[in-house]
Amino acid sequence: MLTVLVVLVLSLAAGPGAVADPGLVVGDGAPVAPGATVRAQMGCEEPTTAPATGPGVTGGPWERDPEGHQPWAVFSTITVAPDAAPGPVTVTATCGDRPLTATLTVADTGSGSTTTRLLAGAGILLAVVAAMVLLQRRRRGTSTR
């Protein structure tokens, strides 16, 4: 409901004619993790719509409110691929013949490759063992004098 109000306020601020086409809204603006889903909403009274698409994202079918509320609005779920690259993604959907776009930000999970993490862990372990060996030698060298 809040998304609908935001779209309407922005549409009114955009000037005349904008209310007839509220556009496409994907999520709430927060970055979306790879593999997650996010809700999308589009202002479209046309009977034919195409699912939302974009690099690394797949949209489900658009559905209207079953109780008939907001007859101009359709809703869908967009899934971000588990291997989607972090950063902004342009999501496109069509209402009749009109393409509508929105930007979705794929979150940077900070996870490197498994090989990189294993090598980093092995490097830290090697440094700890080397420090222990040096300390042990130093203790032995001081105790014999």
Quote the CA–CA distance of 24 and 69 in Å, as a whole number: 18
* Window from 15-19, 46-50, 74-78 with minimum mean pLDDT: 15-19
Token pair listed for 85 = 């690259």
Residue 15's pLDDT band (boundaries 50, 70, 90)?
Answer: very low
Q: Which of 122, 124, 24 is nearest to 76 (CA)?
A: 24
Tokens of 98: 């009109």
CB 104 within 8 A of CB 85: no
Q: Could you give the CA distance from residue 49 to residue 43 in angstroms, rounded to a whole number?
A: 11
| pLDDT surpasses 60 at 25 | yes
- pLDDT, tens digit, 9 for 90 and up, residues 87-136: 999 999 998 888 899 999 999 886 555 566 667 777 787 887 777 888 78
| Mean of all residue pLDDT scores within the chain | 78
| Percentage of residues of the chain with pLDDT beyond 90 | 37
Spatial neighbors of 84 by CB under 8 A, at least 6 apart, are 34, 55, 56, 57, 106
pLDDT at 6: 42
